[in-house]
Amino acid sequence: MILAAQLSDTHFDLSARNTERVEAVMGYLADLPRRPDVILVTGDITDSGTPEQYAQAHLALQGGDIPVYLLPGNHDDRVNFRTVLLGEPASTTPVNSVHRVGPLTVIMLDSSIPGEPAGLLGEDTFDWLRARLAEAPADGPILVALHHPPKRVFSPVVDVIALADPGRLAAVVAGDPRVVGILTGHAHSPIATIFAGKPMITGPSTASVLGGEWELTPPHRIMDYAPDPGIALHVIDENFGLTTHFRTVAMGGWLAEPPPG
């Protein structure tokens, strides 16, 4: 099997709080008896895209010998993302990337629109996506990751700033049997649904929790900062099936046994 950990919406903001929460998650993953094969971070790495925030993220998101792959969200800045996190030349073009993890291909798409909260996959990104699908092994599973959910998630905050024109993405992934799932962030909530006939998993935020329509009524759009940081753990089995477990990581440390009493 392949085990892929997903972090999302870390929102590094130069505070100790969000850094400590990510460090707790990374420590939990490093201490697992069966550690992840890869760690995927699905956007909003920083809160406002400054070089200093990316430097903070770079230090905290160290996976040791576990590869860590990241994509931008609407709070990120493509130039600083590239130069500080990736060590690449400055550019405002979409930060798309593809990675091989054993038989698994992970395609990470930049759905951000510079200066805007909503998402969109541009024509150049679709051209790039089709080319990467054509290059991927014919008999290997594929995960597609992006920040903005391409489907309504019943959040009064997120649904109005979700992915525009999701039908174009649906047409691409629905016709490819190798795509085993779509991973997203943005909603600050663990969500499992179906998009284009494929599992769509939205990873929780390490920073906060955002309620659904049954919890939040506009204009009362608030985050809950009390819960412990959350992550998703995706298992791709030998039949290329996708199973996801969600975990919260206690800031006081993961308990192997229940407390006394």
State the 10-residue block means of pLDDT for the chain, 261 residues long.
97 95 96 97 97 98 94 98 96 97 97 97 97 96 98 94 97 96 98 98 96 77 87 96 96 50 43
Q: What does the pLDDT read at residue 128?
A: 98
Contact indicator for 143, 130 with CB cutoff of 8 Å: no
Q: What does the pLDDT read at residue 218?
A: 64
Question: HEC string of 6-42?
Answer: EECCCCECCCHHHHHHHHHHHHHHHCCCCCCCEEEEE
**Rounded to whole angstroms, what are the CA distances from 156 to 91, 107, 139, 214?**
33, 28, 40, 9
Q: What does the pLDDT read at residue 156?
A: 87
Q: What does the pLDDT read at residue 254?
A: 44
Helices marked H in the chain — which ranges? 16-30, 51-60, 78-80, 123-135, 166-174
**Rounded to whole angstroms, what are the CA distances from 22 to 58, 201, 204, 254?**
11, 20, 12, 14
- H/E stretch holding 152 reads none
Q: Which two tokens stand for residue 171?
A: 């047409």
- Residue 172, classed as helix, strand or coil, is helix
Main-chain dihedrals φ then ψ at residue 68, nearest 5 degrees: -120, 120
Contact indicator for 200, 193 with CB cutoff of 8 Å: yes
| Angstrom distance (rounded) from CA 98 to CA 175 | 19
Q: What does the pLDDT read at residue 219?
A: 63
